[in-house]
């Protein structure tokens, strides 16, 4: 059986630098680039935690780029509005 599909298994919730989350079997080493975000628990508890905690599925870098782009658009609009 795939350990990721074990309904009775013990899991962790991992997160990476992009704020992405992963359900991870507790008996498998945490891979490089990931860290524990929620302690060992049953599958349902971990999935519920992910559901409530990971509300914006966009990677952090995309959110930052979109925020920077929005700021650039707002600044350009302000400059254009003052140029009249």
Confidence class for position 67, pLDDT limits 50, 70, 90: confident
Q: What is the rounded average pLDDT of the residues 21-32?
A: 98
Q: Which domain holds residue 69?
A: 3-82
pLDDT in tens, 73-82: 555 556 566 6
Tally of domains within the chain: 1
Spatial strand order of the sheet with 21-25 comes to 21-25, 10-16, 34-42
Reduced to 3 states, what is the DSSP secondary structure of residue 8? Answer: coil
Question: Is 14:37 a contact under the CB 8 Å cutoff?
Answer: yes
List, in sequence order, the alpha helices (H) in the chain: 43-53, 60-82
pLDDT in tens, 33-64: 999 999 999 999 999 999 999 999 999 999 99
Q: What is the rounded average pLDDT of the residues 24-29?
A: 98
The number of residues in the chain equals 84
What is the CATH number for 14? 3.90.820.10
Reference 36, options 44, 46, 45; nearest CA is: 46
């Amino acid at each position: 059986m795939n350990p990721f599909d074990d309904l009775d298994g013990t899991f962790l919730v991992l997160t990476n630098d992009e704020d992405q989350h992963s359900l991870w079997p507790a008996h498998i080493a945490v891979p490089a680039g990931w860290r524990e975000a929620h302690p060992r628990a049953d599958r349902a508890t971990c999935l519920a935690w992910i559901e409530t905690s990971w509300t914006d599925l966009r990677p952090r870098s995309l959110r930052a780029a979109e925020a920077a782009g929005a700021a650039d658009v707002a600044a350009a609009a302000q400059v254009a509005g003052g140029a009249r």
